[in-house]
Amino acid sequence: MIAVIDYGAGNLKSVTNALDFIKARYKVTSSAEDIKKADKIIFPGVGAFGDCVSSLKKKKIFDVLKKEIVKKPFLGICLGMQVLFESSEESSGIEGLGLFKGKVRKFQSKTLKIPQIGWNSINVMKKSELLKGVADGSYLYLVHSYYADPDDEKIVLTKTSYGIDYCSGIADGNVFGVQFHPERSGEIGLRILKNFVGLK
Amino acid sequence: MLAKRIIPCMDVRDGRVVKGINFVNIKDAGDPVELAEEYNKQGADELVFLDITASSDKRDTMVNVVSEVAKKVFIPFTVGGGIRSVEDMRKILNAGADKISVNTAAVENPSLINEGALKFGSQCIVLAIDAKKNPKMKNGFEVYTYGGRKPTGIDAISWAKKGEKLGAGEILLTSMDRDGTKKGFDLELTKKISGSVNIPVIASGGVGNLEHFVEAFTKGKADAALAASIFHYKEYTVKDIKDYCRKEKVVVRE
């Protein structure tokens, strides 16, 4: 069973619809017990970095998540990826889960529209089960103003170009984070979710 | 590179997609879920559903349509038409839509944009603007409401800027002068609005051929282009448009 983390910030319908469509078994939850029992975790982030951290703490799953993420396949989506890092320019002074060293930064541009909204392509930086069957240069759907900037280049799974080449996906063992929305990225997105669901 | 988006728009009345010109001779055009699946297959980047249901007691039909589409189509979609409150927004978003668009209700009550953005995030709130040329306006275009029937005396560019400030995440800009004419998007209007805000602008109204799409992006500086009738009447598929865009060096999703 997959635990889909719901910390009360928003709508998880598109994620659960996609999981239903690929016939995955999951439970939408904010309980520490469920997270411990689950064999995989999907963490769709909605809202702001600071609010997300404080909601996780309020629901008493911040520390649980930190421990469980490294024990089983984990997929953080959008803010769910960003929160794996130490801090974010969006909410200064707030510590994230800190699983990875690095900071979440805001796009800086006078010419580009912010947030980035729409389909952008990924450059695949390394081989991964998550992207099995997903071609280099595939387009995925993104909506964001902030991006993760990891200290360790080795965890970078994909890069995307928007004014700069930024990290749009990370992979470290079974811990995955993607800035794009697989649940909104058509066939390719469903493929990525299927790959994740199929991980051992 | 971020791709330019091609967005088919469907008018939905009482749970069915309809087509017609200026609300006259409206004909049934099919099931919303089936059409959404078809456009998705053709490579549409997003979809827009416009609820034109006349009576408000049938609004829940739209919520059902949204939830059925959301179960089968995994690209972003926007729902507009008749959304007047945060509660209306919530119903549609909870049913599985990614964004809602507001037009008349936002003009009459601009704080609706702000309330929606605070509640659901700016990325969920699309400000739809129907604009028409009027030299008396500061920047030459006037905002209309009620499906283009009521002039408001508001300058379209100022309204777009205000909408952005209030928290709209995108602007869906329809030229009333061009809508239904097949003469192409209003490039002057599109460029003016796109240049005045820092959020994406979706051009709408007037598309008649493939070159019109390219122009919307290159000359109009639009981030996305929306069309209805050319898709409904099967003049072009989304793929035709994208093939042409690629040939003209406009970046679109494969």
- CB hemisphere CA count around B177 (13 angstroms): 15
CB contact under 8 A, A115 and B45: no
Active site residues of B: 11, 130
Best residue in A12, A14, A162 for a mutation probing chain B (most B CBs within 10 Å): A14
pLDDT at residue A100, rounded to an integer: 98
Amino acid A53 reads V
Complex ipTM, two decimals?
0.93
Tokens read off for B105: 């209700």
pLDDT of residue A118: 97
Domain extent at residue B159: 5-247
Mean local confidence (pLDDT), B156-160: 98
Question: Which residue intervals of chain A are DSSP H helices?
Answer: 13-21, 32-37, 49-58, 62-69, 79-82, 186-197
What mean pLDDT comes out for the span B38-53?
95
Q: What is the pLDDT of residue A111?
A: 86
**Chain B contact present for A47, CB below 8 A:** yes
Q: Look at residue B191 and tell me if it is in a domain.
A: yes
The per-residue pLDDT for range B161-189, each reduced to its tens digit, is: 999 999 999 999 999 999 989 999 999 99
- Please judge whether B3 and A184 are an interchain contact, meaning their C-beta atoms are less than 8 angstroms apart: no
| Residue B254 included in any domain | no
In a domain, B99, yes or no: yes
Cβ-Cβ pairs closer than 8 A, A with B, add up to 80
- The answer as to whether B86 is a domain residue is yes
Per residue in A119-175, pLDDT (tens digit) is 999 999 999 999 999 999 999 999 999 999 999 999 999 999 999 999 999 999 999
Count of domains in chain B?
1
| DSSP code at position B56 | G
The radius of gyration computed from the CA coordinates of chain B, to the nearest angstrom, equals: 17
Residue B252 domain flag: no
**pLDDT tens digits along A17-44:** 999 999 999 999 999 999 999 999 999 9
Q: Could you tell me the end-to-end alpha-carbon distance of chain B, in angstroms, rounded to an integer?
A: 12
What pLDDT is stored for residue A45 in this prediction? 83
Q: What is the CATH number of the domain that holds B179?
A: 3.20.20.70
Residue A101, H or E segment: none
Give a yes or no: residue B33 inside a domain.
yes
Residues B208-248 have pLDDT tens digits of 999 999 999 999 999 999 999 899 889 999 999 999 999 99
Query: What would you report as the CA-atom Rg of chain A, rounded to the nearest whole angstrom?
Result: 15
For B100-154, write each residue's pLDDT tens digit: 999 999 999 999 999 999 888 899 999 999 999 999 999 999 999 998 899 999 9
Domains in chain A, start-ordered, CATH in brackets?
2-197 (3.40.50.880)
Q: Which of B3, B94, B122 sits opposite A120 (nearest CB)?
A: B3
Reported as type and span, the H/E element at residue A3 is strand A2-5
Task: Please tell me which of the candidates A114, A118, A121 has its beta carbon nearest to residue B223.
Answer: A118
d(CA B209, CA B156): 26
Quick: pLDDT tens for B55-105.
Answer: 666 778 899 999 999 999 999 999 999 899 999 999 999 999 999 999 999
